[in-house]
Amino acid sequence: MAAGRALGLGPVLLFCLWGLAAPASLLRRLGQHIQQYQERAGLGLSPGAAVLPKVGWLEQPLDPFNTSDRRSFLQRYWVNDQHWAGQDGPVFLHLGGEGSLGPGSVMTGHPAALAPAWGALVIGLEHRFYGLSLPAGGLDLAQLRFLSSRHALTDAASARLALSRLLNVSSSSPWVCFGGSYAGSLAAWARLKFPHLFFASVASSAPVRATLDFSEYNDVVSRSLTNAAVGGSPECRAAVAAAFADVERRLRAGGRARIALRTELGACGRLGSAADRAELLGALQAVVGGAAQYDRQAGAPLGVRTLCGILLARDRRGVPAPYSGLRRAVQIVKHSLGQRCLSFSRAATVAQLRATEPQVSGVGDRQWLYQTCTEFGFYVSCEDLRCPFSLLPALPSHLDLCEQVFGLTASSVAQAVAQTNSYYGGQTPRATHVLFVNGDIDPWHVLSVTQALGPSAPALLIPGASHCLDMAPERPSDSPSLCQGRQNISQQLQAWLGPTKENQGRI
């Protein structure tokens, strides 16, 4: 059943993944800022300059695994039929992830850029419990048990059948799933679990391996900071380490040094407790990690080159001042996001995450934390001495948040992560017609598939590309490797879809 609601703009791609609240909050808002920037640019420079796509609503079962449960919710979707060649044309389904999905999902970037060549119908499907696809009843634990990747995949399968009828799509039309980040995993898993419904998938920056301790994240960030191709250098990495060492020294000194630090870095917590200090250090890690994760993306306040330039700048005496550079980076990010604080107290974070009233304008922090606690983990740590950041926050701090907010023990989280990998296959999912696309400076590529799993499960690793960059709208400044990567995606679709088009022509 379709129903109408008010049209709203939302982000284009997907929010970054991160488990702990302080860095999660900052990085997710960075992702939201970048995506909204790209959407506004893609839909036109002035209001009304672009033709907005159609918005619709599907009535979906709240619990698709229990036929006796009659409760339902409305799931939002977007449709761009500007290039649709007719009912026999392919359908490109852009799956939403852990955030709001707006009209840009079908109007800018992939798969919209590929639609004209194929005469494809483009549909964007918002993930349950995010954006405006919120079931009635709030976000308490009784409701959140219906939030999982398995529920989302069942929604996609149900939408595939319902929208085929509503939009008069031919039964012979191939459906191709697209998604980035967590939704990239969903795209791959949709083909894995429903190969009779989805013909192929393009999974961008898809972390298909769940992991409790994601220390590899900072390993990649550290390497990216030394990557000359994106503006890094060994000196830059050393400057980051020096800046964090200075922050920790000031935290240990206490007194006036800690008060000054709180003001200079925008910490709204008092920094008196170890938990509050960990929140600040986690947020600072997110500032640096975000520069690598979103490097060279339109709307990103910092990239690796800019960050390194700031950290390596010298003071008036000609002396390197990494801490001053880190302060400047924090100011840039806060100003870009319109935030007063870089971090909050741990108590304030927990209180916010315990709130069960949906925040339509928010980015789904409570919902995503629940999914990390019950499915994925993804808790970024820095406990290796080679890590250039502070050793805090440590893994126990992440896991403690699951217990404080949801009452879930560390052992239950570890068990959930293991079950996710067992159910989907981790980094060796036995899916065919799935193209995995990653960038080598994206910290998440180490949890994805970067080498072909077989002739029908190819992989593409783009040098110098960041998180989901292949899905972003094309820009004149795009690197040759990114342009080649997008061309490779198009060629792979040609190899898969070409024969189906020929067969339709013979019918």
* Spatial distance between the Cα atoms of 303 and 34, rounded to a whole number of angstroms: 12
Q: Name the active-site residue from 365, 442, 470, 478.
A: 442
**Gyration radius (Cα) of the chain, Å:** 22
Strand partners, 58: 75
Amino acid in position 151? H
- Helical residues (DSSP H) of 338-479, grouped into ranges: 346-354, 365-371, 395-406, 410-424
**Contact by Cβ (8 Å): 13, 273:** no
**Contact by Cβ (8 Å): 452, 416:** no
**Contact by Cβ (8 Å): 178, 109:** no
Amino acid in position 467? H
Q: Is 181 a catalytic residue?
A: yes
E-state strands within 181-285: 200-204, 211-213
* Spatial distance between the Cα atoms of 366 and 368, rounded to a whole number of angstroms: 6
Strand partners, 204: 180, 437
Nearest to 342 by CA among 271, 287, 293: 287
Amino acid in position 263? T
* Spatial distance between the Cα atoms of 174 and 171, rounded to a whole number of angstroms: 8
Q: Name the active-site residue from 25, 33, 467, 470.
A: 467
Which DSSP symbol is given to 228? G
> At a CB cut-off of 8 Å and minimum separation 6, what does 367 contact?
98, 129, 130, 139, 144, 147
Q: Name the active-site residue from 133, 181, 201, 205.
A: 181
* Spatial distance between the Cα atoms of 10 and 368, rounded to a whole number of angstroms: 17
**Contact by Cβ (8 Å): 55, 132:** no
* Spatial distance between the Cα atoms of 103 and 107, rounded to a whole number of angstroms: 6
Q: Is 400 a catalytic residue?
A: no
* Spatial distance between the Cα atoms of 215 and 238, rounded to a whole number of angstroms: 19
By residue count, the chain amounts to 507
412, two tokens: 């239950």
337, two tokens: 């996001």
Q: How far is CA 476 from CA 33, 480, 483, in A?
A: 21, 10, 10
Q: Is 442 a catalytic residue?
A: yes
Peptide bond just before 111 cis, omega within 30 deg: yes
For the range 407-412, what are the long-range contacts, defined as Cβ-Cβ under 8 Å and sequence gap of 24 or more? 407/141, 408/373, 408/374
- For 95, the enclosing helix (H) or strand (E) is strand 91-95
* Spatial distance between the Cα atoms of 252 and 342, rounded to a whole number of angstroms: 20
Q: What is the dihedral of CA 67, 70, 71, 74, to 10 degrees?
A: 80
Instruction: State the catalytic residues.
Output: 181, 442, 467
